[in-house]
């Protein structure tokens, strides 16, 4: 890990109930079973192009209670909801649905940047368009 990626944990800002809160949301049930093996991150298409995004790290932050840091972080909007991490996880941690829960809380509590939310449809449309073009070219 490079020096600029080292995160300082501020004890007063930790929310000890955060992990239980996520565990109680749809798909969050197995989050405490994560043993940080990193298999999810190794197969993630987003991590493969952006090392700032790492599902194992996000799960650790949730377990530590870093509620504010996680919910206000732009990285929670990078996931493409492909379920590859869930399919590979030996502990059946459903990170994709955990990500949905994080986004839900980020929107509900005003952490999500409004401008980014307004562009969500545009992001999806562009991604699908690019995929469509590549699929057609591959035929």
Q: Which residues bind ligand SF4 (CB under 6 A)?
A: 34-40, 44-46, 55-56, 59, 79-85, 89-91, 93, 95-96, 99
For ligand SF4, give the closer residue by CB, 83 or 123.
83
CB closer to ligand SF4, 10 vs 127: 127
Contacts (Cβ under 8 Å, ≥6 apart) of 91: 30, 33, 34, 35
Dihedral angle over CA of 15, 55, 90, 24, nearest 10: 30
Least distance from ligand SF4 to the Cβ atom of residue 12, Å: 27
| Dihedral of alpha carbons 110, 68, 56, 48, sign | positive
Residue 6 C-beta: closest distance to ligand SF4, Å = 20
Distance from CA of residue 82 to its chain's centroid?
A: 11
**Rounded to the nearest whole angstrom, what is the least distance from the CB of residue 78 to ligand SF4 in the complex?**
7
55 vs 106, beta carbon nearer ligand SF4: 55
Nearer to ligand SF4, 10 or 65 (CB): 65
Structure tokens at 107: 């929107």
């Amino acid at each position: 890990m490079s020096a600029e990626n080292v995160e300082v944990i501020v004890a007063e800002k930790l929310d000890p109930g955060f992990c239980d809160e996520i565990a109680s949301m749809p798909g969050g049930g197995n989050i405490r079973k994560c043993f940080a093996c990193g298999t999810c991150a190794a197969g993630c298409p987003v991590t493969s192009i952006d090392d700032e995004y790492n599902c194992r790290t996000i799960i650790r932050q949730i377990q530590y209670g870093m509620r504010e840091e996680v919910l206000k972080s732009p990285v929670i909007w990078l996931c493409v909801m492909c379920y590859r991490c869930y399919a590979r996880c030996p502990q059946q941690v459903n990170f994709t649905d955990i990500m949905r829960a994080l986004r839900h809380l980020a929107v509900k509590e005003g952490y999500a940047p409004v401008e980014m939310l307004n562009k969500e449809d545009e992001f999806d449309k562009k991604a699908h368009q690019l995929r469509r073009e590549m699929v057609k070219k591959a035929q």
